[in-house]
Every structure is written in structure tokens, then in C-alpha cells.
A and B are shown apart, each in its own frame.
Chain A
Amino acid sequence: MSTATPAPTRKPMPSALTLDLHAKCSTTKARASTLHLPHGSVPLPIFMPVATQASLKGLTYDQLKQSGCMLCLNNTYHLGLKPGQAVLDAVGGAHKLQGWDRNILTDSGGFQMVSLLKLATVTEEGVRFLSPHDGTPMLLTPEHSISLQNSIGSDIIMQLDDVIATTSPDHARIHEAMERSVRWLDRCIEAHKYPERQNLFCIIQGGLDLELRKQCCEEMVARDTPGIAIGGLSGGEAKEDFCRVVDTCTGLLPDQKPRYVMGVGYPEDLIVGVALGADMFDCVWPTRTARFGNAVVPTGTLNLRHRSYAKDFRPVQEDCTCNVCRPKEQGGLGLTRAYIHHLTAKETVGAHLLTIHNVYYQLSLMGSARQAILEDRFPAFLREFFGKLYGEKTNYPNWVVEALRGVGVDLIVDP
């Protein structure tokens, strides 16, 4: 390999987290643990809602806390543009900016660059792009990204990686991106100013090529970052490929480090990801779909803008214990589908209410998965979850069945 050879001069990598691994599923690769971070303890596996611009889409931070959230995301790219590093430094970081005293994870800003890739090119030095306003050529380097994340002060920071679509047909480019991500990790480690209070996670790259992924795992594990992310997924690849990559990577990662699969958020993906041994997930989907009037429920999603809900006086989800669905007698708000239909897409409160429900749904789903792992009944949990979601066994997607067969659970055959 032509990546930087693991040199003895590498900076020691202190860690600002500890992971208590409580239980492993006796059948699948699922794990239940607690991640202790500078701003509180996080039960794993977990879904992390995305507060892109230092605000979770209209929710107050007390509403977010009531959903049980211990760790949410901010986007470095967005905070770098607004309010910018100088303001973050002056205010004292993102926790102080947004009044959130629990944990924050920030991405590196690299992913957003891919979305703008037509305007950006990746070179060894960093991401070159034209300033959208005046066309001046600019360069975003791993050092910039880490410096910004240091100013943000997030509890978990991500390395800048060379992200390219996993579906890219250019194998040489994927190989180059993987190796470059390893070299950039070294630069990020070197640039990281506060390893004693911010945990730098590496990001495994390598597209859909399992051999590249293995090499990358080896290189990055050697660098001993406090946590490890599996990146470059959820970019439109086949679900089968996604599962193979996650399965391969988690197989090579040390038990004592949290594993974060980036950009994954559909309930079925989360649950399969947990079965394959991943601990952390994030996605904007639950909050974005809430703004479009969609509620996430065990049977899928309900589009509450549809007229059929205009006189549906049931809660969004029967038996849900979120503030929105819980009846008034139990201290909840007792809201109905009909009233959310009345608000949604017309008043911002409609979006707020569905965001509360959807975030709560995702978090409690992970909570019940965790409980099932702790009680070693995760395979039964899988059967129940997919039974509710898809109904008939003939509706089960093949990728789910195959992925779970790979870890010892056959959904089609009753135990």
C-alpha cells in the first residue's frame, strides 16, 4: 500500500470517551453498550437526529431532550458558513451558541462538498472549489475542517475524507479516494488541537469493493482513533451492497470502539445495521419527511396531508408514548391525525409536532432494540419489527432477508 506508513512518530491519540459494552446478541452481531462522552452518557445503539444549522427544525432544546436525545448532529459545512468560525470562537462553541448541554457530533463538511461536486474537485491538498459568489478558486483542507470543528467544540468530530459516490464506476478513483482518506486522517490527527475533549472518528472508505474496505479498516484501526465511522454509503448503492460493506467492516473493527454508519435513517436500515454490528446512525430523513407531513409509524409512513386523515381522530400512532400522541390524561398533548392534517404544510407547528413524533419514534425504536439485545431476544425483536413493517412474509425485501440470514436469523422460516 502506498498510504503513509504507520510511522512511530505518530501523535498519541488520547480519547475523550469510554465505551461500556454491556451485551452482545448471541445470534447476530448486534451490541448494546453505553458511550460516555464529555456531555453525558449515550445508550448505544442510537439514532442521532440532525440539527443541521444548530437547530433541530423548529424544536426547542427542551422538546428535543424530552424525546430522550443525548447526542445530536450539527453540520460543519453549514456552521462554517453561518455563523462562521470567528463567531463560534467569540460565543464559545456550538453548545453555547444553541444552548444545548448534551452531546454534539459534527461531520467534516466533506459530504456537502460531494453534493456540490460539479463545483469542486478533490486534490491531494484538499477540496478545490470556486466561491459561488465571486468565482474565486478556494481550497478546503483537512486542517480547515478540524480547525472549524475545534471551534465548534463538538464532542465527536469527523475526519475530512475523500467522499465519492459508491456507485462510481471508476475503480481507480475509488482506490485513490480510500488511500487519500487514510493520508488525510493523519493530517487531521496532526491538526486536532483538543483530543482530550473532542473525539476524532476516522471514516472507512473504499466504495463497494470489500478488499479496499478491508485495507482501509486495517490502516485506520492502526491509527487508534476513539471511534470509527463507515462512510461513503447511503449514496444510492444497492441495499445488498450496503449490507455487505457494513458486515465486512464491523467484522474487522475492535469491539471496544463505537461504530458509526453515516447517513442511514430508514427504520429498516437502522435495524439491519444494528444486527450487522453497527452502533450509531444519523439521517435527516425523519425530520425532513416530518416537514412534508409524513409520520413514521411501525407500519411505515403516513402521509397526513392526504384527505383521508381529515376526520381521523386517532393519535398519529396508537400506543405511542411521545408527547404528541400520548393522551392528555397521561400528560401528553393528545393530538389527532385530523388536527395535524389541519396544520401540516400550512403552519410551522404542524412540522414541529411531526418532528417531535418522528424523532421520538426513531429513538425509541433504537431503545427497544437495545433492550432486546440486553435481554438476548434480539432475533425475536427482528421478527416482530419486520412483521409489523411489511405484514406478509412475501413482502419482505430480499436484501433484508439475505442480510439477516448472514448473521443467523431467517425471517422467512419460523423458529
Chain B
Amino acid sequence: MGSEFPPQSLNEMLSFKVTPSILTPRLGNLAIAGRKAISTPHYIPSSSRGIVPHISHDVMRDHTAIGSLFVGLEDFVERQNLKEQLPPAYTIPTTQGESALRKFISLPDDLLLVMGARREPPIQCPPSNTPNSVAIYTAVGFRQLEAPQYIDAVRSLNPDIVVGLADLVLGHTPGVKRRGKMVDRTHAFTTHATEQLYGTAENRSKTAYFAPVLPLDNAQQSIYMDDLEDELRPYVSGLALYESASLSAISEPLGDLPRLLFSGPKTPHDVLRDVSLGADLLTIPFIAVCSDAGIALDFTFSANTTTTNRQPMAYDLWSSSYITDTSTLSESCQCYTCRNHHRAYIHHLLSAKEMLAWTLLQIHNHHTMDTFFSQIRESIARNTFEANVQAFQRAYVSELPEPTGQGPRLRGYQLPASGANQPRRFPRVYGRLDDAVERFTESQSSVATPDTGADGLEEHGFARKEKS
């Protein structure tokens, strides 16, 4: 291996057409045999336990344009893989070439399925990674996922794309020694996995391998990067990056590979920055965070720049100003939510703690993001991207609104592990010895209890105050 031309990837399933470039916004087309092709730049929706939170399969099929999904293996391997006790997803009967993971989740055949070891965004695990494994957080607790187990998972589950294991440090900046270890371990993971998956011609995995690029300076991981360019290059179909800065670490020989970025953008401005640096695929945690918090996204990339005041990019439907507001979430939005419902209803659903609120917001927020990315692609094609980004920055404020309302009850695996002396996550519901309070609590759980006083009730026409 190692010819004078950049060697083509051995994977015949995936093709990525792009003008190889570095640190410029670029258009591409990612096609995997049998799946819907994806025009890039685009985002990949994150899933929890196989579904986009609050969006059931039929809603996804009928009312969203979701064509790809990022799935964390940790959602599917709860107990250690004992030989006789394979996780359920591994054991579903499949036909030749069919993905067990796709079948287990019952995803559409043409949906592009990307698998990583961890959910996106990952939650920090107290146990640290080892030279041979990474720590994962399943619904029943922490465990180590060993490198060979991850390869087994790829072989058994057959996702379209797998993001290679990386030794990442969450929650703090790693020290010098740890950074060295990160590179060594990740290098070993990648070498081992590509060898195992693609080393022999007769049993070559059809899953495309996205090799991780560590969130470190280029100099620190130069040996690894050199190997990616050379020895490992035929086995690698794409790159997985963990911070925007890594986009500048990509050298020319790797320039034609699709780049999947897990930088956790906080705002649409961050998304634009990543696109301008040449990201092809992004994961965007703030979509689901906003939906859970009752926040509707409301921005477009072709924004009107004539307004003098900078507009908010989203608004909080918990606010009482929407109680009787029968307008759609965004003007001229054509999503299912906006075609059928109005702000007053979503405000009502949020305050009544009805699950439908989050479903409708997820549909709208994903649609807003779809539109945003399609406008980004048009803008790049028109060569007006830089100017449009500046106009966007002038048109909108820099931050999304802070959440005020309550979201869905979070499950253990969705929250950081609790340490010693932490306050309770949720208020205690049972066990109070005050009879009156207990009765109200009970009535709250079975029957709605008014959250307004007597005057409010009278105003609502519910009952009238008695004259004493």
C-alpha cells in the first residue's frame, strides 16, 4: 500500500463526491448503496435507544425528512457480552447483508445508519478508558466496551457507517501524559479495527469506517495522522472529528474524505462556523435540548438584514405571552406542526405536561434545521456563503434563549452520574408525613390540581368564590 496517488477506499458501498478542500465550505454528496443519498453539508439527527426522542416511527416517516440517524452502541448493550447472553439486537434473525441493528429498531431500509460507541452527546463516565476499552454508560450502569467487542458489534449489527473507537477525555482538559496515551490508544484502536474488519478480502465488512481524529494539536497526533494518510488510508471511508479546530488538522491526502463533526454546537452561529471550516456532517444536540425545554427554533439562513434590531433565534413557548396566540410557530413554516397547530396549543401542552408538546416541537425544530441546511447548501452553490453568514450574524442575536420550563423526566442514563453529597435530582414525591400535603400530592397524580388560587379559578369560569 502507499502509492503516489491517494489510494481509493476499499469500501465499495460508500461514495463521496466532493471537491477536496480544506478550511473552506464545500458541497458534497454522500451515497451509500441502497440508502438515500445525503447532500452535504447536513446534520445527522441523534437518537436515543434507536429513535429520535419523542418521534415515533410513523411520525418520522410521515412528517419529517429525517434520512439518517446516529445511534450509540451503548444504548443496545446493557450487560456484558457473555457468549450465551448476546444483547437482543445481536440475535434478531436477518437475511444476508441485512443490518440487524436496522431490523431491531425497524428503521426504513433507505435510512443511513451511523453507529458510534457512545450516544451523542455522550455523558461523562466516572470509570476511565483503558488501553483496550472505552467506558460506556448503559441504561443499567457503566461498563467497559472492549475493542474486540466493538468489532463484534459492527460485524453483528452491520450499520452503514461506524465511527471508530477513540480514547476521549470528557469534562476536563487532559494533561500531557494523557494526551500521549489518547493518541497511542486511538491509533491502536483504528489499526486493530480496520485490520479485523477489512484485512481479509473474503470476509470484508461492508460497513464504512470513519476514523477518529482526536481533539488535539496536529503535532501531538502526527504519527497517527501520517498512518491514516498512508497505511490505513484504504480502509478509511471518512473522518470523525470532535472539535471544530480539528478541521484544520486535516491534511491534503485526507481532503476528499467526508468529515463527521461532533463538536456539540451551541447555536446556529456555531454550525455556520463549522460549515465554513469545511464540515460535511454534523450532530446538533441543541435541537433536542430546545424541544425538551419547550423552545421553538425560528431562524432562516436567508434572513432579512434590513431590520435594525437583532432577532432572537428561538423563543420559549412556556412564556405566558402565547396563551391565546393562534399563530404558527414560525411564519410561513410548512412543517407538520405549523400546518396543524398553533402556539397556544403547544403552550397548553407544555403546561399540562403532555408528551405531544415535545413531539410537535421536535418535528418543527428538525424541519427548521433541514431548511437551514438546504439554504446553506444553496448559498455555498451561489458562492455567497461568507456574505450570508455575515448577514445572519447581523440579523440574529448570538445566543439561544435559556430554558425556563420543565422538560420530560430524564432517565438515569440521560443524566451525569451522581456523586456524593449531591442534591436530589427530583423532588421527593412520596414519604411525606403531612396528611394534607400527601392528599394534595395524591390528587395531583390522579387528578389535575389547579395551579392558581380562587381568583384564578373564578376567572377561568371554573367555579365561583363563596361569599361568607
Contact = CB atoms under 8 A, between A and B. Distances in A.
Interface in A332-390: 333-336, 338-339, 341-343, 346-349, 351-353, 356
How big is the B interface, by class?
35 or more
Interface in B408-439: 408, 411, 413, 439
A81 interface: yes
B54 A139 contact: no
B463 interface: yes
B168 to A, nearest CB: 25
Interface in A171-206: none
A348 B460 contact: no
B193 interface: no
Contact of B50 (A60, A98, A112, A339): A339
Interface string B14-42: 00000000000000000000000000000
Nearest to B341: A99
Interface stretch (A82-90, A233-241, A274-282): A82-90
Contacts of A323: 58
A131 B450 contact: yes
Interface string A72-100: 00000110111111110011000011110
A61 interface: yes
Contacts of A33: none
Contacts of B89: 342
Interface string A99-125: 100000000000010011011000000
Contacts of B324: 86-87, 90-91
A140 to B, nearest CB: 4
Interface stretch (A49-57, A258-266, A293-301, A399-407): A49-57
B448 interface: yes
B447 A112 contact: yes
Given A138-B466, A339-B50, A97 B348 contact: yes
B354 A97 contact: no
Interface stretch (A9-17, A20-28, A143-151, A242-250): A143-151
A394 interface: no
B461 A147 contact: yes
B452 interface: yes
A133 interface: yes
Contacts of A47: none
A141 B351 CA distance: 26
B53 A134 contact: no
A134 B463 CA distance: 14
B62 A138 contact: no
Q: Which of A56, A87, A115, A347 has the most CB of B within 10 A?
A: A347
Nearest to A151: B461
B97 to A, nearest CB: 17
Contacts of A57: 354-356
B323 A87 contact: yes
Contacts of B171: none
A165 interface: no
Interface residues of A, number: 73
Contacts, number: 215
Interface of B: 48-51, 53-59, 61-63, 76, 88-89, 91-93, 104-106, 139, 323-324, 326, 336, 340-341, 344-345, 347-349, 351-352, 354-356, 358-360, 408, 411, 413, 439-440, 443, 446-454, 456-466, 468
A347 B355 CA distance: 11
A175 B245 CA distance: 79
B88 A83 contact: no
Interface centre among A62, A81, A98, A311 (most CB of B within 10 A): A81
Interface of A: 53-63, 66, 77-78, 80-87, 90-91, 96-99, 112, 115-116, 118-119, 126-129, 131-134, 136-141, 144, 147-148, 151, 310-311, 313, 323, 328, 333-336, 338-339, 341-343, 346-349, 351-353, 356
A115 B92 CA distance: 46
B461 A343 contact: no
B62 A55 contact: no
A80 B461 contact: yes
Contact of A54 (B336, B345, B453, B456): B345
Nearest to B409: A348
A355 B326 CA distance: 28
Nearest to A148: B461
Contacts of A62: 62-63, 340
A311 B354 contact: no
28 contacts: A55-B349, A60-B63, A60-B356, A77-B447, A78-B352, A82-B351, A83-B347, A87-B324, A87-B348, A97-B348, A112-B448, A119-B443, A126-B463, A131-B457, A133-B452, A133-B454, A134-B453, A138-B457, A138-B465, A144-B461, A311-B88, A313-B92, A336-B92, A342-B76, A343-B50, A347-B51, A347-B53, A349-B55
Contacts of A352: 56, 355, 359
B460 A84 contact: yes
A53 to B, nearest CB: 4
B454 A338 contact: no
Given A54-B345, A86-B459, A333 B453 contact: no
B59 A60 contact: yes
Contact of B56 (A90, A99, A341, A353): A353
A323 B58 CA distance: 8
Please list the 8 inter-chain residue pairs (A to B) with the smallest Cβ-Cβ separation, ordered nearest first.
Answer: A85-B461, A136-B454, A84-B460, A58-B355, A131-B454, A90-B324, A140-B463, A53-B352
Contacts of A99: 340-341, 345
Contact of A342 (B49, B61, B460): B49
A327 to B, nearest CB: 10
Nearest to B443: A116
A352 B360 CA distance: 13
A341 B92 CA distance: 14
Contact of A339 (B105, B351, B457, B468): B105
Contacts of B408: 348
A376 B459 CA distance: 53
A163 to B, nearest CB: 13
A132 B360 CA distance: 32
Contact of B459 (A84, A151, A311, A349): A84
Contacts of A85: 460-462
Given A60-B356, A82-B348, A144-B463, 11 more contacts: A53-B354, A66-B58, A81-B451, A84-B459, A99-B340, A129-B463, A131-B450, A131-B457, A147-B461, A338-B88, A342-B88
A61 B360 CA distance: 11
